[in-house]
């Protein structure tokens, strides 16, 4: 469902950071701190098909700030992956196509083929964070944001996100005809 116009409006990670006003230092630090291990690198180097990754999100979103650096690090380690970001606030009409339970969630991560057709999708946050947040008793939005920032700094949570993203990259590669 990604249209050429949306892909063309989207920017790469570095340009996104230049334009961002919130969570910039957090995203830069997470990108720098995340270390891909040998298995991660082998998986990324094994990708056979070109896969485009379109992230619909915003710099003020804690979930985007927590996951975007992981995707950027993956893309930088693979010649077969390309990442672009589309601001969800500036593209509300397009973002509305990806509602979950009737609500807009960010980020939406779309794995696309060369023709910009969706292969698979990932939304909002890794399973481990859903579990923690849903079990918690945090009521205020500010407290939730603070807890999410803390969780996304946890290396185990980062590995969870990385694992989910790697599984989807491999799935997309197989769908596209990995040999």
Predicted confidence at residue 147, as pLDDT, reads 85
User: What's the pLDDT at 136?
Assistant: 67
pTM as predicted: 0.94
Residue 44 has pLDDT above 60, yes or no: yes
SS3 per residue for the chain: CCCHHHHHHCECHHHHHHHCCCCHHHHHHHHHHCCCCHHHHHHHHCCCCCEEEEEEECCCCHHHHHHHHHHHHHHHCCCCEEEEEEECCCCHHHHHHHCECCECCCCEEEEECCCCCEEEEEECCCHHHHHHHHHCCCCCHHHHHHHHHHHHCCHHHHHHHHHHHHHHHHHHHHHCCCC
The larger pLDDT score, comparing residue 102 to residue 78, is at 78
pLDDT in tens, 116-175: 999 999 999 988 887 777 766 667 778 878 888 888 999 999 999 999 999 999 999 999
Domains of the chain with bracketed CATH: 4-175 (3.40.30.10)
């Amino acid at each position: 469902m990604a249209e050429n116009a949306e892909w063309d409006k989207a920017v790469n990670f570095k340009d996104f950071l230049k334009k961002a006003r919130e969570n910039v230092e957090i995203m830069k630090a997470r990108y720098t701190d995340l270390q891909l291990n040998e298995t991660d690198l082998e998986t990324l180097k094994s990708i056979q098909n070109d896969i485009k990754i379109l992230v619909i999100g915003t710099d003020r979103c804690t979930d985007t700030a927590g996951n975007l650096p992981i995707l950027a690090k993956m893309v930088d380690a693979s010649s077969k992956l390309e990442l672009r970001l589309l601001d969800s606030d500036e593209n509300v009409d397009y973002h509305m196509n990806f509602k979950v339970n009737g609500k807009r969630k960010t980020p939406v991560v779309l794995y696309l083929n060369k023709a910009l057709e969706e292969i698979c999708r990932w939304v909002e946050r890794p399973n481990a964070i859903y579990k923690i947040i849903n079990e918690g008793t945090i009521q205020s939005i500010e407290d939730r944001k603070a807890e999410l920032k803390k969780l996304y700094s946890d290396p185990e949570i980062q590995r969870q996100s990385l694992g989910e993203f790697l599984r989807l990259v491999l799935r997309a590669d197989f769908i596209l005809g990995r040999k």
